[in-house]
Structure 1
Amino acid sequence: MVALKHDDKLQDGSECAFQCALLYTTLYGQRRIRVSTLSLPCTNNLSNLFRMADLDTQFVCFLKQAANEVPSTPPLHVREQVTNFCTNILLSYRKFCATVSSSGQLILPEALKLLPLYTIALIKSTGLRTDGRIDDRSFWINYASSVSAPLAIPLVYPRMIGIHDLDLQEGDGSLIPQTLPLASEYVSDDGIYLLENGQDCLIYVGSSVDSNLMHQLFGSSLLDEIPAQFVLQQFNNPLSKKLNDIVNEIRRQRCSYLRLKLCKKGDPSGMFFLSYLVEDKVPTGGLSYVEFLVHIHRQIQMKMSS
């Protein structure tokens, strides 16, 4: 990640251009230069800035800054820095842009309304936790340092969908069904769920799933007969076809094969799946998403009154 600093004043209404040149060699040995130019309008109005904010781009900056800090800074301090980034942004909006409202209300800019959610997801991610394997943290740091913007958010806030009721879900024209919040209240014992983060695809099977449903999706009514890592097959039924279409579409979107891993409730693999439910309260002391919003709000109130 490259940070740019400009000391001169920019005139309101003018445009500022960013240009990047990439020198590369093609497959046939030809040397080429690819030039990319981005021109953005300048403004001295913070309301315009917040209204046009790009959450994905801003978050990928947070992510890469955190990844760069982890090797030399204790994870606790990095988590505090990430929280302060989020707090200061929302404080600026509350202080300079928001209309007069009750002090007991947390005000979020429309373009950044998911910033607290992604922030707590980053705080609970593999790279900032201390209870995981050092190899996993090292891989996370290396991957996050160069991850593209479209893959940054799935890395910390994966996509979860229910696949046990695909026949009942009403489509909106997209192959991918509506996603579910990453909270245990949306995971039932009689359900099967798919969770993907751009690298891995976890299939979580509840303890009370119908055996006929298992047979339709996996070709076996017994969960123990399905290996932990498996290749998804398509069977001669509509539910299996829908699941295969969804997985293939996700692979196309992520440009990754996505290894399939089976997770069972009551098994270490099931606990691994549940560790991705970042909106839940963590037994070791991590806040739930609602508690994190309350914490952010209190921090803003304290800074507003100081």
Structure 2
Amino acid sequence: VDRTMTGQPIQDSREAIINAVMDSLGAYSKTIGQGRAGLLTPKEGHLKYFPQYALAMLKHTAFAAGRSIKLDERAAAMLMFRFCPLEQILSELYPKLYRLNQLAQPPVGRDENGEDIIEWPQPLPCSFEYVHRDGAYLLETGSALYLYVTSYTDQQFMLDAFGADYNNIKQCLLDEVNNDVARRVQAFIKKVVGLKFYLGPLIIVKEDLPNKQLFARRLVDDRTENTFSYVEFINYIRREMNK
């Protein structure tokens, strides 16, 4: 970030990110490989996620190439990396994707204090492979919160959770809906955003509206017109290291 903000070309920063991945995985393979051929990647520990976050950086507005990005947007993204808390930066790079339909299920019991025990949705990999048309999905990106729905999303769940069906849902006001499902959805969203320094409003994304690209672009494991998928990126790193 500092290199780019002092006037160095974006391409230099992108190459530095890729070189950092190759250096770290090369050192790991050399240390652990013990003579075995090929690129070895760790199965646990922080280094396991380094290539994934590096790819996310290459796709992020701060460092992306191959698409038109306004200077103000790029500068704002870089300032976010410099000044926001780490938890928010990590979500900005690799967003957290949740399927909300699970919250239609009643609590599984009560704890010793008499409070409901709710099975909260767990984060999914950031890929459309895990986005099914019958679901409602929450994507927390560090600086924004997206709700993705389709015409096949369970309409009863939408009415219970958001007070509107697919055709009528707009910029929903969750606090205006008062039932058990809506309260669980509200509690979960508060849980997700509780540690964030700043988060914008909940943005409704429909599959048939242009703003679907806002959602799709943040699924960083997927391939786009100008960027690698995660699998393609790992294969690219392997080829570069074998040259």
TM-score (norm 1): 0.68
Give 1:168 deviation, angstroms. Answer: 5.2
Partner residue, 2:187: 245
Give 1:77 deviation, angstroms. Answer: 2.7
> Over alpha carbons, which structure has the higher Rg?
1
User: What is the percentage of aligned positions where both structures have the same residue?
Assistant: 26
Contact 2:97/2:124 (<8 A) preserved: yes
The structure in which a higher percent of residues are strand is 1
Q: Which runs of 5+ in 1 are unaligned?
A: 1-66
Q: Distance in 2 between matches of 1:128 and 1:80?
A: 10
Q: 1:163 to 1:169 in 2, by over 3 A?
A: farther
Q: 1:105 to 1:78 in 2, by over 3 A?
A: closer
Q: Distance in 2 between matches of 1:129 and 1:156?
A: 12
Q: Distance in 2 between matches of 1:86 and 1:170?
A: 43
Partner residue, 2:38: 104
Q: Which runs of 5+ in 2 are unaligned?
A: 109-116
Q: 1:177 to 1:170 in 2, by over 3 A?
A: farther
TM-score (norm 2): 0.85
Q: Distance in 2 between matches of 1:168 and 1:99?
A: 47
Contact 1:214/1:220 (<8 A) preserved: yes
Contact 1:198/1:258 (<8 A) preserved: no
Contact 1:106/1:297 (<8 A) preserved: no
Secondary structure of 1:138's aligned partner: helix
Which structure has the higher relative contact order (CA within 8 Å, separation 6+)? 2
Is 177-186 or 101-110 further displaced after alignment? Answer: 101-110
Q: Distance in 1 between matches of 2:2 and 2:197?
A: 25
Q: Distance in 1 between matches of 2:76 and 2:102?
A: 35
Partner residue, 1:181: 125
Which residue, 184, 187, 191 being the options, matches 2:135? 191
Q: Distance in 2 between matches of 1:94 and 1:114?
A: 15
The code of the aligned residue for 2:22 comes to T
The code of the aligned residue for 1:98 comes to I
Q: Distance in 1 between matches of 2:122 and 2:100?
A: 11
Q: 1:169 to 1:291 in 2, by over 3 A?
A: farther
Q: 1:101 to 1:180 in 2, by over 3 A?
A: farther
Partner residue, 1:153: 90
Report the count of equivalent residues.
Answer: 231
The code of the aligned residue for 1:107 comes to T
Secondary structure of 1:98's aligned partner: helix
The CA RMSD over aligned residues, in Å, is: 2.4
